[in-house]
Homo-oligomer: A and B are copies of this chain.
Amino acid sequence: MNFELIKAAERRLQGQAHRTPMLNSPFLDRIAGRRVLVKAECLQRTGSFKFRGGWSAVSALPQELRSRGVIAFSSGNHAQGVALAAKLHATPAVIVMPKDAPKLKIDNTRAFGAEVVLYDRAGGESRDAVGATLAEERGLTLIRPFDEPQVIAGQGTVGLEIADQAEEFGVRNADVLVCCGGGGLTSGIALALEAMAPGLRTRPVEPQGFDDVARSLASGRIERNETMTGSVCDAILTESPGEVTFPILRRLCGPGIVVSDDECLRAMAAAFSRLKIVIEPGGAAALAAALYHPNIIEGDTVVVVATGGNVEASQFAEALTAQEKAE
């Protein structure tokens, strides 16, 4: 994994991914005590940065493999990113999801043209076994959600844009806070910034109780979460950083930051009222860190990646209403 792969992904993504805007608001600056620049990846195609990695991986396949198709395990943003990327390449896509995934996510993934295969997680079916059989039978290529160089390369294009946009704002030194699951986006951004804007330091942000990356950075080896449920930040709950991502995170990233679920919901409400964007709980973690943990951030400006906006209407409405009552 290296910077050249990111530059190559950038060329393949040209005209496909949106260059998302860098937003800001004096109201957020006041809360944070410094300037807050928000990279709005919720405005990316499919509603999250995952389209970049999906496109990068599908477009990097040799034609022969691409024509057979791809497979991914995901009930979330990675599923939609891979599904749309495959559809636009006229590549068959199979997405393996648990039977009890939200109907909206299943419907959206199908609407992006993918074949959704459901497995019975409660009934003891193994996702990997279901997927392996399908991949074998049809010659499908597995696209991993984060521990895959071409996926990291696609996500890293967010970092190239941040480097450009920070310069437009005159920012040369700042912490760049990234909502972090397995570290695909975080490591991609870190590699891009190392090359293009070395004064910008990448820092992963995770929900309380699921801070495997922060702990891994502290201990110097891969640490795991004990459970995978129990936070509203579903988009960034992963067991541990990956074997490809962790060495990059370890070499390049500043200390991890941990935020509470409640802080993420409050950050969603702040983004609603001050930036007019929709972010999901896991996509709000970095903004929550900027707004509510200012003392562990350095510099006059902080850059925040708002990674996605795929949230159910009822959950979003609840976050707004809770915040209004609290004020």
Interface residue ranges, A against B (CB under 8 Å)? 18, 20-21, 23, 26-27, 42-43, 47, 111-112, 269, 272-273, 275-279, 309, 313-314, 316-318, 320-321, 323-324
Contacts and interface: CB of A to CB of B under 8 A. Distances in A.
17 contacts: A18-B21, A21-B21, A26-B112, A27-B111, A43-B275, A47-B276, A269-B313, A272-B316, A276-B309, A277-B278, A278-B278, A313-B320, A313-B321, A314-B320, A314-B321, A317-B320, A317-B321
A187 to B, nearest CB: 25
A50 to B, nearest CB: 14
A278 B279 CA distance: 10
Closest 8 A/B residue pairs (Cβ) = A276-B309, A317-B317, A313-B320, A276-B278, A42-B276, A313-B324, A317-B320, A317-B321
Contact of A21 (B27, B43, B314, B318): B43
Interface-central residue, A23, A43, A276, A277, by most chain B CB under 10 Å: A276
Contacts of A317: 316-318, 320-321
Contacts of A47: 276
A304 to B, nearest CB: 16
A278 B42 CA distance: 12
A271 to B, nearest CB: 9
A285 B27 CA distance: 27
A190 to B, nearest CB: 25
Contacts of A324: 313-314
A276 to B, nearest CB: 3
A277 B43 contact: yes
Given A18-B21, A317-B318, 19 more contacts: A21-B43, A23-B43, A43-B275, A43-B277, A47-B276, A269-B313, A272-B278, A272-B316, A273-B313, A276-B278, A276-B309, A277-B277, A278-B278, A313-B324, A314-B320, A314-B324, A316-B317, A316-B320, A317-B317
A115 B89 CA distance: 56
Contacts of A276: 42-43, 47, 277-279, 309
B313 A272 contact: yes
Contacts of A23: 43
A320 B26 CA distance: 27
A38 to B, nearest CB: 11
A318 B323 CA distance: 15
A33 to B, nearest CB: 16
A277 to B, nearest CB: 6
Nearest to A21: B21
A323 B112 CA distance: 22
Interface-central residue, A26, A111, A318, by most chain B CB under 10 Å: A26
A106 B275 CA distance: 18
Contacts of A277: 43, 276-278
A306 to B, nearest CB: 9
